[in-house]
Structure 1
């Protein structure tokens, strides 16, 4: 039997973008400081660098403390998997080889400002979504579509905050 719905094993994703009237260097300062990101996020409540790291670098790890009305509160450890100042900042949540999520910012100079894109991938590794899907496997598509919709709104809100701060 072939499934036509979303599957966590296929790592569904969403991306949102904004044009920002600020140089990529200014936008980079905002999006690459994970300890400042909670002020621009609706889900991330706090973040701290781990293992002596004090800023963005390939392989650096950080812990994020999250909260939302549907999933409650949780924390995750992430590892920076792409870090090119002024261009890309990405991290894998939990195991970089089998992440439960991947988050990525891309910056591109555009029309005297910056095109900022934020991407989020769910799965394929285990997460809270895995538990929900295991309890209701027939609702996997619906569970994933709802989470993707929530994440898309979360990304849009974050980019709106970054835009406001960068342009202030």
Structure 2
């Protein structure tokens, strides 16, 4: 792993396809979000779920202020891997000076009756990554809470 990439993982007692469906549908992101910063999905480019490579969606955010991030799906391998790259929405101009380009990735590896889920925060394409990486500990905690929320929802289904 590079110093610009942070990952957390956990086993969840649910099939990979069910977990993949959670992250490949932006309307479910607020439900699983462990950061508390997601307000809700908007401007989803495709009515089809799960989303595929090239599809776009925007999320209303509230973390140090209200803003909107627009994401493009960059990886979509059903049941195995889903990733998107986020940049500030054109309506969030002041945030464009601070960040843009981070990648969020989820990987799913079936392991007996469980699935190993790995969430990755990749800053390798983030312009101000040296500043943003200061939030590494906060990001790790949020990712752990996200996987805990995914587990609670998927295991209850």
TM-score tier by shorter-chain length is 0.7 to 0.9
1:63 alignment partner, one of 48, 58, 64:
58
Residues 1:44 and 2:38 are matched in the alignment: yes
Deviation at 1:111, TM superposition (A): 2.2
1:147 equivalent to 2:135? Answer: yes
Alpha-carbon deviations, 1:67-95, whole Å to 9, x = none? 22xx3222111100000110000001139
Q: Is structure 2 residue 17 aligned with structure 1 residue 25?
A: yes
With the length of structure 1 as denominator, give the TM-score of the two structures: 0.75
Gaps of 5+ in 1: 1-9, 134-139
Cα deviation, 1:30-88, whole Å, max 9, x if unaligned, reads 221111110111222211343344431110000011222xx322211110000011000
Within 1, Cα distance between the matches of 2:43 and 2:79?
A: 20
Count of aligned positions:
141
Of structures 1 and 2, the larger Rg is shown by: 1
RMSD: 2.2
Structure 2: gaps (5+ residues): 89-99
- Give SS of 1:51's match: coil
What's 1:80 paired with?
A: 73
The TM-score, its normalising length taken from structure 2, stands at: 0.79
Going from structure 1 to structure 2, the CA distance change for 1:166 and 1:52 (only over 3 Å counts) comes to closer
* Alpha-carbon contact 1:11-1:121 (below 8 Å) kept: no
Residues 119-155 of structure 1, C-alpha deviations (whole Å, 9 max, x = no match): 01125344xxx4xx9xxxxxx5xx4443111111111
CA distance 1:123–1:21, shift in 2 (3 Å): same
Distance 2:24 2:3 in 1: 24
Matches of 1:91 and 1:100 in 2, distance apart?
Answer: 10
